[in-house]
C-alpha cells in the first residue's frame, strides 16, 4: 500500500466506512513494521446516545449518593430541593430546613467534587494509556502524584501556615508539586528535537522515587501526629466545598476539551511514530499537548482530593473492554465512568463504617487492585 493509503485517513470527514476501511488497511500493514492497528469501534455514527445514557446513570448515582448518610434524605426530597434552586420552578417546600442545609452545604459539594475528580483522573488515564501505548498506565505514571504529595507534605508538617487570609496553601502546594515533578521529568527526557516516551517514563519514575524519598524523610523527622498528612495522602472529600469544584473545573474543562479533540490523533498514534508523522501528525507537539493537558487535569484534581489511585486505570479499561478502543469515544465515556465510580467509592467510604469514615483511596484500592491483577493476567488474551 502506498502513501496515498495513509493520507486517506486524515481526509476522512465522516465517521463512516472510509475511515473504517482506511484504518483496517493500516492495521493490516502494521505487523510488517511491528506497529499496532488503529482501534475502531465507533462505526458509522458517533454513539451520542451512549454518552447521554451514561450521563443519566451518573446523575441518578449522584442523587442516590446524596440521599444516603447518617441522616437519610429521600431521593424525591432531594429532587425537590434541587428543583427549587432552578429558575421558573417553585415546588412546595415541604422538607425540613436541616435537610436542605445538609444537602446543599455538605453532601452535594462532596458528591460533585468526587464526580469531577473521577472524570479528571479517568480522562487523564485514558490519554496516558493511548500516548504511551501502555495498558497499565495511569495519571500518576510520570510523577504527578509524588510531586503533589511532596508539596502537601511540606505544607502540613514543616510549620508553613495552612492559611494565608482566606486562601488555603495546601492545594496550591500540591498543584505546584505535581506540575513541577512532571515538568522536571519532561525536561530531563527532552532531547534536541524529540522526547522519547520510554525516557519520559523512566525520568518520571526517577523523579517520583526522589520525591517519595523526600516525603518519607520529612515524615520521619516530623511531629508524631501524622494523621492529617496520611488522610490527605490516602485521598478523600471530607472538606469539599463548592469553590473546590469551581477551581478544578477551571483546569479540567479546557484540558478535557483538548484531549477529546485529539481522539482521532490518539487512534493514529497507536501505530508507530513514523507512520503517524506520514499521516501529517506533529508527533512532538502532540506529545507535549497531551502530557500537559493530562497533567494539568490530574494536578488540579489531586490538589483537593489527595492521592486516589486506580480510577485512571480502571475506568478506561471498563470502557475499552465493553465498547472498544476508539479514543474518540473512549475519552468522554471514560470521564463518565470515572465520575460514577468515584461517586460510588466515596459513598462506600463515608457509610460503610459510619459514623467513622474511610479514606476514599482505600476503597478504590480494594476495587482497583483485583482489576489490575486481572489485566496483568488477561492482557495477552484481550489484546491490550
Summarised one tens digit per residue, pLDDT across range 163-178 is: 777 778 889 999 999 9
Q: Does some domain include residue 17?
A: no
Q: Does some domain include residue 153?
A: yes
CA–chain centroid gap for 206, Å, is: 22
Give pTM, 2 decimals: 0.84
Residue 41: its pLDDT value, please? Answer: 46
**Contact predicate 201/138, CB 8 Å:** no
Summarised one tens digit per residue, pLDDT across range 333-365 is: 999 999 999 999 999 999 998 888 899 999 999
How confident is the prediction for the chain on average, in pLDDT? 84
Q: Does some domain include residue 216?
A: yes
Summarised one tens digit per residue, pLDDT across range 252-302 is: 999 999 999 999 999 999 888 888 888 888 988 999 999 999 999 999 999
Residue 381: its pLDDT value, please? Answer: 55
Q: Does some domain include residue 28?
A: no
Residue 379: its pLDDT value, please? Answer: 61
Q: Taking the alpha carbons of 237, 241, 242, 243 in that order, is the dihedral positive or negative?
A: negative
Q: Does some domain include residue 147?
A: yes
Domain that holds residue 362: 109-382
Q: Does some domain include residue 46?
A: no
Residue 304 belongs to domain with CATH number: 1.10.3470.10
Name the packing angle between helices 283-305 and 169-189 (round to 10°): 150
Residue 87: its pLDDT value, please? Answer: 83
* Structural domains counted in the chain: 1
Q: Does some domain include residue 83?
A: no
Percent of the chain with pLDDT strictly greater than 90:
53
Q: Does some domain include residue 8?
A: no
Neighbours of 285 (CB within 10 A): 9
Amino acid at each position: 500500500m502506498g502513501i496515498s493509503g495513509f493520507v486517506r485517513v486524515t481526509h476522512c470527514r465522516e465517521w463512516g466506512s472510509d475511515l473504517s476501511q482506511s484504518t483496517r488497511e493500516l492495521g493490516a500493514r502494521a505487523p510488517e513494521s511491528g506497529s499496532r492497528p488503529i482501534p475502531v469501534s465507533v462505526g458509522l455514527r458517533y454513539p451520542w446516545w451512549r454518552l447521554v445514557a451514561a450521563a443519566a446513570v451518573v446523575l441518578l448515582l449522584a442523587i442516590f449518593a446524596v440521599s444516603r448518610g447518617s441522616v437519610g434524605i429521600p431521593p424525591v426530597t432531594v429532587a425537590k430541593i434541587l428543583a427549587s434552586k432552578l429558575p421558573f420552578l417553585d415546588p412546595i417546600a415541604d422538607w425540613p430546613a436541616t435537610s436542605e442545609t445538609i444537602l446543599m452545604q455538605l453532601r452535594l459539594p462532596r458528591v460533585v467534587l468526587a464526580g469531577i475528580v473521577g472524570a479528571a483522573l479517568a480522562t487523564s488515564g485514558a490519554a496516558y494509556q493511548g500516548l504511551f501505548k501502555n495498558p497499565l498506565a495511569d495519571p500518576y505514571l510520570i510523577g504527578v502524584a509524588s510531586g503533589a504529595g511532596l508539596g502537601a507534605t511540606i505544607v502540613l508538617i514543616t510549620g508553613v501556615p495552612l492559611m494565608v487570609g482566606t486562601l488555603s496553601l495546601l492545594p496550591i502546594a500540591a498543584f505546584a508539586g505535581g506540575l513541577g515533578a512532571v515538568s522536571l521529568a519532561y525536561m530531563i527526557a527532552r532531547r534536541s528535537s524529540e522526547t522519547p516516551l520510554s525516557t519520559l517514563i523512566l525520568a518520571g519514575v526517577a523523579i517520583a522515587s526522589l520525591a517519595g524519598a523526600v516525603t518519607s524523610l520529612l515524615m520521619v523527622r516530623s511531629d508524631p501526629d501524622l494523621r492529617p498528612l496520611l488522610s490527605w495522602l490516602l485521598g478523600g472529600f471530607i472538606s469539599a466545598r463548592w469553590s473546590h469544584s469551581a477551581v478544578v473545573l477551571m483546569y479540567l474543562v479546557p484540558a478535557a476539551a483538548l484531549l477529546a479533540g485529539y481522539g482521532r490523533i490518539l487512534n493514529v498514534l497507536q501505530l508507530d511514530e513514523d507512520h503517524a508523522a506520514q499521516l501529517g501528525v506533529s508527533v512532538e507537539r502532540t506529545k507535549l499537548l497531551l502530557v500537559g493537558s493530562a497533567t494539568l487535569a490530574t494536578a488540579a484534581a489531586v490538589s483537593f482530593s489527595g492521592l486516589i489511585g486506580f480510577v485512571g486505570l480502571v475506568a478506561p479499561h471498563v470502557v475499552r473492554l465493553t465498547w472498544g478502543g476508539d479514543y474518540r469515544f473512549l475519552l468522554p465515556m471514560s470521564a463518565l465512568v470515572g465520575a460514577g465510580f468515584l461517586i460510588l467509592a466515596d459513598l462506600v467510604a463515608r457509610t460503610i463504617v459510619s459514623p467513622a469514615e474511610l479514606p476514599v483511596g482505600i476503597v478504590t484500592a480494594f476495587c482497583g487492585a483485583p482489576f489490575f491483577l486481572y489485566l496483568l493476567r488477561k492482557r495477552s488474551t484481550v489484546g491490550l
